[in-house]
Amino acid sequence: MAVTVVRTAVDLPERLPEDYRMLAEGFLDGAEYSVEALSEKGRHRVVCVTQKFTDEATLVETGHCVPAPVGDELRVAVDEFMQCVLDALGVTDGPTHTEVIATDGGLRVVETHLRLGGGHIVELVELAFGIDLDTMWIRQVTGEPVLPGLVVEASRSAAVRFVTPAAAGVLNGTHGTDEAAALPGVVTVEELQGPGAILTTPLTGQGRAACVIATGASAAEAVERSRAAAEKLRFVVTCVG
C-alpha cells in the first residue's frame, strides 16, 4: 500500500492498471503530531505530544521527537481537543495513540488507537519523561490506579530517525553502526532489516532498514543528533533488474 499526495491533476499518475483500486480522501494540510494519553474511569490525561516527521512524497513517517516543541497555546488546545475526542469515542480506560494535524481550521484527527504508540514512541517517552508507559498499562490492567500522582514533566528531549536505502533490491548488509553509536547523545542504533531483506519502492513503513535514537537538551538538539547518526549508516543493496 502506498500514499500519493495529489494537489492538482498534474500529480495524477499517467497510467493506472484497469484493476487498480484506490481510496481518495481530503488532504489535511498542516503540522502532524501524535498524542499519547492515558484514561482512567473516564478521566483523560495527555502524557505528551509527539512531533512527527514524514516523507514529503509518500507521507511515511521518517522520525519522531518527544516532547514536540509546541507553544503553550497549541498544547492547551491539544489537551482540550483530546478530552472531547476520547469522550466522544467512549474511551474510559487504557492508553490511546491519536494522530492529529494542526490545520488552519484547527486540530483534526487522522486516526486513533486503543494502544500505545509505535515507532519507538514508548522508548522516547521514557527517555524524555522517565515514564514507563508499558508498566503503567500493566499496572492499570491489574486494577491499580495510575493517574493519581502522575507527574508529566520532561527532563530532556528524545528523537528517533528511521533510515531506508533509496535503492530497491536485496539488502546485503548495513555498515557504520559503531560510528553512529559513538556520537554524542546517541542511545540506540538498531538494524531493523537483516541481510536478505527485500527492499521496495516507494518508501513504506515496513521498508525501514535501521533506526537511531538520540537525546538532547532540546528538541532541536535531539533531532540533529539522530540525523547526524543516521547519516553514518551505509547500506549495501543488490539491485534487481
Tally of structural domains, the chain:
2
Last residue of a domain, one of 132, 155, 178: 155
Burial class (CB in 10 A: 0-12, 13-18, 19+), 185: buried
Per-residue pLDDT of the chain in tens (241 residues, 90 and over written 9): 567 788 787 777 776 677 777 788 888 999 999 999 999 999 999 999 999 999 887 788 999 999 999 999 999 999 999 999 999 999 999 999 999 999 999 999 999 999 999 999 999 999 999 999 999 999 999 999 999 989 999 999 999 999 988 788 899 999 999 999 999 999 999 999 999 998 876 565 556 899 999 999 999 999 999 999 999 999 999 987 6
State the residue range of the domain holding 104: 29-155
CA angle, 218 then 193 then 203, to 5°: 70
Q: Do 95 and 118 belong together in one domain? A: yes
Q: Residue 97 sits in a domain of what CATH number? A: 3.30.470.20
Query: Using one digit for the tens of pLDDT, what is the confidence trace for 97-116?
Result: 999 999 999 999 999 999 99
User: Could you say which DSSP state residue 204 is in?
Assistant: -
Cell reading at 31: 503540522
Q: Do 139 and 199 belong together in one domain? A: no
Neighbouring residues of 237: CB distance < 8 A, sequence distance ≥ 6:
165, 167, 168, 169, 170, 171, 172, 199
